[in-house]
Amino acid sequence: MKKIGVLAVQGAVREHVRMLNQITDVQGLAVKYETELDEIDGLIIPGGESTAIGRLLRDFDLLDPLKEKIQKGLPVWGTCAGMILLAKKLVNDDTSHLGVMDIEVARNGYGRQLGSFETVVNVPEVAVEDMKLTFIRAPYVNSAGSEVRILLKVDDRIVACRQNNMLATAFHPELTEDLAWHRYFVRMVRGH
Ligand code: GLN
């Protein structure tokens, strides 16, 4: 049994837990205390509001312990706001949060007009079948370091990428019925 935590300070927590619990031999659980970080095999940082999540992580004294865990190899997956939290650098912004992944991310990269949209893609490494992706006020990756492997581009923008134990996606698989990305992350956790 693999235990996968979902960082539960703000955002789409329950949706991820529900997805994880549909996968065999995986237990999804909401985590918000430092001690709970020792009990999990992987962590999802959900979508929500990155500024709020970042502030709460600091308020709860979780930012540094979590950063250290990730740097020591804890498999982590940031979706949407979670991708922003992982980034080393943000476009037009001097702040960064966990700053562990060698990517520069544009927040609300699609502007207000195209705030939310869906698209269908095929990512062979993740699933044989096509997948429908849901973007909500999504960020995208503006540039990525050489250690970062690009998994998916949509309209020439990087929306999914991986760097060793870290996965970042700009969209929200937890708002679909498709378990493909959660299964992919579980494979990362099992391979760790
Ligand atoms: N736009 C949000 C932010 O900047 C992210 C949106 C989301 O997670 N759906 O944090």
- List, for residues 56-92, the tens digit of each pLDDT value: 999 999 999 999 999 999 999 999 999 999 999 999 8
161 is catalytic: no
Residue 35 CA to ligand 1 center (angstroms) comes to 27
Residue 170 CA to ligand 1 center (angstroms) comes to 9
80 is catalytic: yes
Q: Rounded CA gap, 9 and 136, in Å?
A: 19
* pLDDT at residue 112 greater than cutoff 70: no
What pLDDT does residue 114 have? 64
Kindly give the residue spans of alpha helices, DSSP state H, lying in 32-103: 50-59, 63-71, 81-86
Pocket perturbation via mutation, ligand 1, pick of 6, 7, 16, 50 by most ligand atoms within 8 A of CB: 50
Catalytic residue among 15, 97, 161, 172: 172
Buried/exposed code over 48-69 (b: 16+ C-beta within 10 A; e: otherwise):
bebeebbebbeeeebbebbbeb
Band of pLDDT at residue 113, cut at 50, 70 and 90: low
CB 135 within 8 A of CB 116: yes
Pocket perturbation via mutation, ligand 1, pick of 7, 80, 134 by most ligand atoms within 8 A of CB: 80
